[in-house]
Structure 1
């Protein structure tokens, strides 16, 4: 049951969510891989950057609007794909997608959603995909997503196997871990661990080319941390890449996405959209990523914590507050539009 909690910072929001979530769900949301160095590193990377504002810039009414792969967004923010959101609150993805649509932000539905593809509404929806051993099922998931109005398919490539997540391992339970998108497929166990076991560990570049040919909408590759991989993704038809280490949940010592963002942006050289996922908590984080070349960012845990403490109303309040903070921070930076941001953020080591 959601409770209304007044929170002022992401840290307060996380603590409030921890108080209302069962231990297994809390650890599933919060935990990272191995010794959680990557999880902490995602946050630390943003704190190493400093902002260098312009003055007398007349930025009292800034416009943070962005366009990403044809989707017009009120700000360069999408809710990241996160499965089984009904574990966090009974409204699950209906609440998070509804809040995003209300605010004019993007939403990426996970393959492992607890709500079927067909029940998710909103003008800026994408669908995250894992390639399964049964290609027929994979193709049908893509078809359903496109038929339901999803405007892009996001292929996750950094999870050939599930990372070692000690917090999950200590508290994992079996009840309620069900993925609604697999109910039409009797060959696949819709229970979480059953579906995960069907994800292909041997995915390769030819599979990306197949998906690009099959999807009929732009394909975005999520989980890229090396410039040469970003280039190959574009060469194989990807319309975008997400610089991401899976929220620190896969490889425990993976580099922070922000630390490699500029090298990926340079390598892609405008041929595809570049998004960043991992460690984004505040308006300054969003604007830092955009200043360093990202077209948009994905917000993960922040949205789930808001869902836990306040259902859709909580997500709307938290993401709406983020949007207001983006505008305020742009004014303080002297940036009237996102195009004014490059050069306003320090870049250590370059």
Structure 2
């Protein structure tokens, strides 16, 4: 109807009540109207309210929940934060309370209003900034909940910071001032040597000894006690004493070599006596057992013949003792196995 109208409605009052969605009229059609009411429903309460609004009994309130292209109403723009408002921002918590860097600041904004006078919808992005000397140091974008946001800002460097909130084109009028202090500089404490007292015994003519306290400055040099000669203290001497030493791989090889020698000797004796191969192999195994037994006894410290024969045996004597014990134990097992074979026969 309005699109086909050719001037008959000129200078006349034309009012449209949209009981359905109000976005079916284009811009040209809307320009021909005096008033345009969006009612959105055909129920009896909606019809009565529309008529009362038409005659001025009630004032229409609210805003369109949908975009109406004919009047230039975009829902996204209408729900955006109103740029004419001044955002309020409040400091909730300052951790740590003494303000020594690094500091975590927790802030909260007040209710943020959109173009329709309502609080902005949830998930509307709001930016929280921290500025030092007019320069931005850190920022965080937070989604709104119930028209407001809470955020935590981490301040690393010492200085005075201004924390502001920005929602769309709206900004906070008075920023929050937060002062971050520098951590205390650790002072190096010099260690001064303290005087110590050394108790020395001074012999006298009487049978008793009198103890005198001689203060000695703590230095890096050793202080000889009374009664010592002027010669420097004896340095610890590393002796080649063989007492209680631990066996190594060379000792094991020496024992195995001596055991092998005894085994070869036993094998040859068994061959000359006409014993079968199985008995000779068994004899060799007994020799191996005897040599290893000698090695274990020596390692456990039960048999140390070089300590019995010499006051200060060296390392070579110890290795020869291991080999000799293994060889002797091998020969003993040859003798014992020979007797066992005779008894068996």
TM-score (norm 1): 0.15
| Greater share of residues in helix | 1
| Structure (1/2) with the larger strand percentage | 2
**Who wins on radius of gyration, i.e. which is larger?**
2
Q: Which has the higher contact order (CA 8 A, sep 6+)?
A: 1
